[in-house]
A and B are shown apart, each in its own frame.
Chain A
Amino acid sequence: MQLLMPDLRPVMPEIVMTVLALLILLAELVIKRKETIAFLSIVSVAVVTYFLVGSAGTTFNGMFLADGYSMFFKLIFMLNVILTVLISVKYIAIEKVNFGEYYALILFSTLGMMIMASAGDLIVLYLGLELMALSTYILAGFIRYDVKSNEAAIKYFLLGAFASAFLLYGTSMIYGLTGTTDIKAISAYITQNGLSGNPVLMLSMILFAVAFSFKIAAVPFHMWAPDAYEGAPTSITAFMSVGPKAAGFAVLGRVFLIAFGSVRMEWSVILIPIAILTMGVGNIVALSQTNIKRMLAYSSIAHAGYALLGIIAGTGDGLASVLNYMLIYAFMNIGAFAVVIMLRSEGFKGDSISDFEGLSKTHPLASALMLVFMFSLTGIPPTAGFMGKFYVFMSAINAGYTWVVIIAVIFSAISAYFYLRVVMYMYMKESKETVQLSATPALGLALTITVIAVLAIGIIPSAVINFARSAVAGF
C-alpha cells in the first residue's frame, strides 16, 4: 500500500495560522510589551491572508474544501481579527487583563472558524467548531476578577456544550442514515434514495438547525447571547458577534444548501419560524435595553434573523446575499463597538446607553461615527447596512418568500427605534458628566476603516456584490 502525501496547498493558510498562533503564545514569554504582540498578531493575519490567495483546491479526500465560498468567509475572519486587535490594544490594558494569550486565543478561535468554513465533512466541521468555541469561552471570561465576565464564560460554555452535543447527535443520525459524514456524499445519498420525508432525516435536520441556531444566536437558542455579550470584554463581544456568527452561517449554508439541498422545502419549514422569531425577539427585546452592549447583543440576534432569509431563499443569490451581509455586518458592528470601547476609561464603565448623553457636544467626531453606524445597523441608505438588507430581501422575494420579507421589513423599521435612541441620547440630550474618551491611533485606524467601508459599500456596492456572487459561483 502506497501512502500518498495529501496536497497541503489548500490547507496551507490553516497550517500557517496554527504555527503563528503557537509562536505568539511563546512570544508572550519573551516580549514584555503587549503592543508588540498585538502588532505581531496583525502581521500573522497578513501572512495568512497572503497564503489564502492561491490556496484554492480540495484536499484530504474532499474533507477540506478551499473554495470561493470559504475564501470569502476567511477574509471576513481575517478582517474580524484585525479590527478586534486594533480596538483591543488599549482596552485590555484598561481592564487590566493585558496578557499575550489574549491575542493567541483570538488567533486560535479564528483558526477554528477557518476550518469550519472549509469543512467538507461533518467531522471536520465539528473539529473547527470546538476549536472556535473553546477559545471563545476563555476569551469571554478573560476578565478573571469580574463576576459578570465569569458568568458570561460559564453560560456560553454550558449552552455551547449543549449545542455541540446536538450537533454530534445530528451527525451520528445522518451517519446512521446515509453511512457517511461527507457533505457532498450525504446530498448524493439523499437524492439517490429519495429520502425526502424520512423522519430520521427530519430529526437530524432539526438537530443541526438547533446547533447552528445556537452559534448564530437565533431565537429560541439565543439565551446565552445577551449575558455573554454583556459580561465579556467589549472587544471580545465585538469579536464574537461577528466571527462565530459568520462561521455559523458558513456551515449553515454548507450543510443545509449542499447536504440537505434536495429537501429544501422540508428544512425551510424549520428555518422560517426561526428566522421570524429571531427578528421579532431580537428587535422587540432590544427596545427596552439600557445597556449598550446588551442592546447590541439583541441587535446582533436580529441581524442573524435577516441573514437567515438569504439561506431560506436557498438560491445562489440568497447565499451571496448572506456573504455580503456578513461582511457588511462585520464593518458596521465592530465600528459601533469601537465607539463603545472608546467610552471605557479608567474607573468609568461607559456601557450604559445613558453614558452617550450629550456626547455630540463634547466629542462631535465620535458621535458622528456612532451616528453612521447606528443608521447603518438600521439599514438606512446611503449606508452599507441598507445594501446588505436590500440584497437579502431581494433574494428572498425572488425565491417567493415575499410575506416573510414583509415581516422582516416591519421588524427592521421597529429596530430604528432603539438604534435612533443612541443617536437621540448623543444629539438631543444634555450631558450630565463629561465623558473622557480613551482614543488611540489603533482605535482611530479601526474606526477609519469601518466608517469608510460602511459609506463606500453603501454608495458603490458593486465590487462587494460581485465578489460575493463569484464566491458562490462554484458552490
Chain B
Amino acid sequence: MEQVIMNKLGFPILSTLIFLPVAGAVLLLLIGRSRENLIKWFSLALSIASFLLSIPLFTNFDKSTHLMQFVERHSWIPSWNITYYLGLDGISILFVLLSTLITILCVLISWNSIKTKTKEFYISIFIMEGAMIGVFCSLDFFLFYIFWEAMLIPMYLLIGVWGGPNRVYAAVKFFLYTLIGSVLMLVGIIYLYFEAGSTFNILELATKAYPYKMQFWLFWAFFAAFAVKVPMFPVHTWLPDAHTEAPTAGSVILAAVLIKMGAYGFLRFSLPLFPEASKAMTPAMLTLSVIAIIYGAVICLAQTDLKRLIAYSSVSHMGFVTLGIFALNSQGMEGGILQMINHGVVTGALFLSVGIIYDRTHTRQIADYGGVASVMPVYASMFMVFTLASIGLPATNGFIGEFLIILGGFKASQLAGVLAATGIIIGAGYMLWLYQRVFFMETNQKVAGLNDVDAREIITLLPMIILVFWIGVYPDAFLGFMHESVRHLLERVNTGSVHEITTAQNIIGIIK
C-alpha cells in the first residue's frame, strides 16, 4: 500500500465536490420548465455552494509533502481490482479550485443569454462540473477514464444545442476527435493493467519500471488522448470550431478547464508512468510545442472572428504549457502548471468578455466593432487587463508563467527558448491589434449606444481580475502548492534515466 494522507476533514470532501453538482443536476430535473428564475437562482446557489466547499481544500492543504491528500478509497469493482480512489496533490488541487470558480462564472454569464432549454443547459453545466472535478481527483485509472469520457456528453450537448450557427459540425468534430484519442488511450490503459499485474492504481503504477519498448508505445497511445485535448499541433483543428461555436459558458469551460486536462494527463500519467520514453520523446514534444506557439500566434493575426482569434491564441498558449512540461526541469514544469491556471483565468475571462459584448451585438466579426472604448469605458478597461495579461505584461499572471516556461525552455534547449520568446512578441502583436480594432478607431454604427457592463457582468469578471493581479504580484501563493509535487515528479522522471546511465557506466567500467 502506497503512502497517502487520508482525508481528515470529517466528511468525504472530494466525493461531495464531485457529486454535489450531479445531485443538484438531478434536483434541477424536478423543477418545472417554466420556472426559469428558480432554475437560475438554484443553479447560482449550487455553484456557489460547491465553490465554498472547495475552499477547505485550499486552506487545509499541506504544502510540505508530495503525497496525495484528502484521500478516499473504497472497493468498487473487486473482480477487476478497481477501487473508487480519490486524492489531490500539488499538481491537481488548483484545477479543482479553478473548476468550481469557473462554474459560478458560467452560471452568471449565461443568466440572460441562454433563452431556450434553460433547465437542460444548467444540468449539462453541473454534470460537466462533477466530471471535471472527478478527472482531477481520480487516482484509479478506470475511474479517471469514466470521468474523462463522461465529460464528452454534456460538452457535446453544450456546443451542439446552445452554440452558434455552425454548432452541429463543431460539436460532432469535437466529439469524434476526442473520442478517437481517448479510445486509443483506453487500449493503452488495459495493456498497462495487465503488464503491471492487474492494477489500475495510478500511484502503484507509477512506482514500477516498464521496458522501454512498451513505454514507447504506451507513451504514444496516451499522447493520442492528451494531445487532442491540449490540443497540440497537428490535432488542434477541432478547437477553433468548438470554441467559436460553443455558447459563452461552453467556451469558458473548454478554455479554462477542459483543455487543461490534456496537459494534466501528461503530468499525471505520461511522465511518471513512462519516464524513459518521456525523456526520449522530449525533442519531438518540444518541437511540436514550438510549432504550436508560433503557428497558433501567426494564425491569430489573420482572424476576422473574435472568438476564433482567442481560440487560436489558446493553441499558442497551450504550446507554452507543453513546452514547460517537457522542458523537464522545475522552472519549466512549475511555469507550465501555473500557465495552465493563468490561461484558464485569462482566456476564460476573454471568452466571458466576448460573451458580454456578443449578447449585445450578436456578432463575432471584428470588423463589426470599433470605438467600443468610448461607448463602454468600464468594459474596455477590464478587457485591457485581460489583454495585457494574455500578452504577459509584468505584474500580471501571464508574465510569471511565461517567464518561468521560457527559463525552463532555455535550460532544455536554447533554440526552443528563443523561438518560444518570439511567440510572445507575435502574441503582443495580435492582442494589441485586436484591442485597437475593437475598442479604438471610429465608433462603428453597430456598437453605438450600447450599455456598459452591468453589476452582474462586473461581478462575473471581477474574480478573474483579482486572480490576474494576485498571481502576477504574489505567485508563490499558488506556486507554493506545487513545489513538492513537481520535485517528486521530476525525481521520478530523471532517476529512471540516471539509473540507466549508471548501469551503462558500470558496464564500461567492467569492460575496462
A residues near B (Cβ < 8 Å) are 360-361, 364, 375, 380-382, 386, 390, 393-394, 397-398, 402, 405-406, 409-410, 412-414, 416-417, 420, 423-424, 427-428, 460-462, 465-466, 469
A393 B160 Cβ-Cβ under 8 A: no
> 8 A-B pairs, CB-CB below 8 angstroms?
A364-B33, A398-B194, A409-B187, A413-B176, A420-B172, A424-B171, A461-B77, A465-B77
| Stretch in B5-13, B41-49, B148-156, B360-368 with 4+ CB within 8 Å of A | B148-156
Q: 10 additional contacts, CB 8 Å, given A402-B187, A428-B160?
A: A381-B146, A397-B190, A413-B179, A416-B176, A416-B179, A417-B176, A420-B156, A424-B160, A462-B76, A465-B77
- A26-B171 Cα distance, complex, nearest whole Å: 55
**For A414, what are the chain B residues with a Cβ–Cβ distance below 8 Å?**
176
CB distance from A332 to the nearest CB of B (A): 15
- A424-B175 Cα distance, complex, nearest whole Å: 12
Chain B residue, CB-CB nearest to A378 = B179
* Secondary structure dominating the interface of A: helix
CB distance from B76 to the nearest CB of A (A): 7
B176 A382 Cβ-Cβ under 8 A: no
- A382-B172 Cα distance, complex, nearest whole Å: 20
Contact among B77, B117, B172, B190 with A360 in the assembled complex (CB-CB below 8 Å): B117
- A427-B163 Cα distance, complex, nearest whole Å: 12
B191 at the interface (CB under 8 A from A): yes
Contact A466 B146, CB 8 Å, known A402-B191, A424-B160, A428-B171 = no
- A288-B187 Cα distance, complex, nearest whole Å: 28
Contact A427 B149, CB 8 Å, known A394-B190, A466-B79 = no
**For B161, what are the chain A residues with a Cβ–Cβ distance below 8 Å?**
427-428
B78 A462 Cβ-Cβ under 8 A: yes
B183 at the interface (CB under 8 A from A): yes
B145 at the interface (CB under 8 A from A): yes
B157 at the interface (CB under 8 A from A): yes
- A364-B157 Cα distance, complex, nearest whole Å: 14
- A203-B194 Cα distance, complex, nearest whole Å: 35
Interface string of B199-239 (1 = CB under 8 A from A): 00000000000000000000000000000000000000000
Chain B residue, CB-CB nearest to A394 = B190
**For B33, what are the chain A residues with a Cβ–Cβ distance below 8 Å?**
364
B186 at the interface (CB under 8 A from A): yes
**For A380, what are the chain B residues with a Cβ–Cβ distance below 8 Å?**
149-150, 152-153, 179
B183 A397 Cβ-Cβ under 8 A: no
- A469-B78 Cα distance, complex, nearest whole Å: 12
**For A381, what are the chain B residues with a Cβ–Cβ distance below 8 Å?**
145-146, 149-150
B354 at the interface (CB under 8 A from A): no
B184 at the interface (CB under 8 A from A): yes
A409 B184 Cβ-Cβ under 8 A: yes
Chain B residue, CB-CB nearest to A429 = B168
- A344-B80 Cα distance, complex, nearest whole Å: 42
Most B CB within 10 A of own CB, among A386, A416, A465: A416
A386 B149 Cβ-Cβ under 8 A: yes
B146 A382 Cβ-Cβ under 8 A: yes
Interface size for B (C-beta < 8 A) is 34
- A360-B153 Cα distance, complex, nearest whole Å: 16
**For A416, what are the chain B residues with a Cβ–Cβ distance below 8 Å?**
175-176, 179
**For A462, what are the chain B residues with a Cβ–Cβ distance below 8 Å?**
76-79
- A282-B296 Cα distance, complex, nearest whole Å: 39
**For B187, what are the chain A residues with a Cβ–Cβ distance below 8 Å?**
393, 397, 402, 405-406, 409
**For B117, what are the chain A residues with a Cβ–Cβ distance below 8 Å?**
360-361
Contact A406 B184, CB 8 Å, known A397-B191, A417-B176 = yes
A424 B150 Cβ-Cβ under 8 A: no
Chain B residue, CB-CB nearest to A425 = B168
B498 at the interface (CB under 8 A from A): no
A382 B150 Cβ-Cβ under 8 A: yes
A413 B79 Cβ-Cβ under 8 A: no
Interface string of B166-200 (1 = CB under 8 A from A): 01100110011001100110110011011000000
List the 8 closest pairs (A to B, CB-CB), nearest first: A409-B183, A381-B146, A413-B180, A413-B179, A428-B160, A397-B190, A381-B149, A462-B77
- A428-B150 Cα distance, complex, nearest whole Å: 20
Chain B residue, CB-CB nearest to A405 = B187
B79 A409 Cβ-Cβ under 8 A: no
- A462-B78 Cα distance, complex, nearest whole Å: 7
CB distance from A404 to the nearest CB of B (A): 10
Contact among A398, A412, A420, A427 with B183 in the assembled complex (CB-CB below 8 Å): A412
**For A406, what are the chain B residues with a Cβ–Cβ distance below 8 Å?**
184, 187
**For A393, what are the chain B residues with a Cβ–Cβ distance below 8 Å?**
186-187, 190
Contact A424 B78, CB 8 Å, known A397-B187, A397-B194, A398-B194 = no
Interface string of B248-265 (1 = CB under 8 A from A): 000000000000000000
- A427-B157 Cα distance, complex, nearest whole Å: 8
**For B179, what are the chain A residues with a Cβ–Cβ distance below 8 Å?**
380, 413, 416
- A388-B157 Cα distance, complex, nearest whole Å: 24
CB distance from B338 to the nearest CB of A (A): 31
- A409-B189 Cα distance, complex, nearest whole Å: 13
- A45-B96 Cα distance, complex, nearest whole Å: 51
CB distance from B446 to the nearest CB of A (A): 28
**For A386, what are the chain B residues with a Cβ–Cβ distance below 8 Å?**
146, 149
CB distance from A89 to the nearest CB of B (A): 28
**For B171, what are the chain A residues with a Cβ–Cβ distance below 8 Å?**
424, 428
A-contacting residues, B72-130, CB 8 Å: 76-80, 117, 120
Chain B residue, CB-CB nearest to A426 = B161
CB distance from A313 to the nearest CB of B (A): 12
- A462-B180 Cα distance, complex, nearest whole Å: 27
**For B157, what are the chain A residues with a Cβ–Cβ distance below 8 Å?**
423, 427
Chain B residue, CB-CB nearest to A465 = B79
**For A360, what are the chain B residues with a Cβ–Cβ distance below 8 Å?**
117, 120
A424 B180 Cβ-Cβ under 8 A: no
B168 A428 Cβ-Cβ under 8 A: yes
**For B76, what are the chain A residues with a Cβ–Cβ distance below 8 Å?**
460, 462
B77 A428 Cβ-Cβ under 8 A: no
B180 A410 Cβ-Cβ under 8 A: yes
**For B176, what are the chain A residues with a Cβ–Cβ distance below 8 Å?**
413-414, 416-417
- A30-B77 Cα distance, complex, nearest whole Å: 51
- A386-B171 Cα distance, complex, nearest whole Å: 21
- A390-B160 Cα distance, complex, nearest whole Å: 27
CB distance from B21 to the nearest CB of A (A): 15
Most B CB within 10 A of own CB, among A380, A382, A412: A380
- A406-B224 Cα distance, complex, nearest whole Å: 13
Most A CB within 10 A of own CB, among B76, B78, B172, B186: B186
- A393-B186 Cα distance, complex, nearest whole Å: 9
CB distance from A472 to the nearest CB of B (A): 13
CB distance from B267 to the nearest CB of A (A): 23
CB distance from A170 to the nearest CB of B (A): 34
CB distance from B181 to the nearest CB of A (A): 9
- A364-B76 Cα distance, complex, nearest whole Å: 33
- A462-B77 Cα distance, complex, nearest whole Å: 5
- A390-B187 Cα distance, complex, nearest whole Å: 9
**For B194, what are the chain A residues with a Cβ–Cβ distance below 8 Å?**
397-398
- A397-B152 Cα distance, complex, nearest whole Å: 25
**For A398, what are the chain B residues with a Cβ–Cβ distance below 8 Å?**
194
Contact among B120, B150, B168, B183 with A410 in the assembled complex (CB-CB below 8 Å): B183
- A386-B148 Cα distance, complex, nearest whole Å: 13
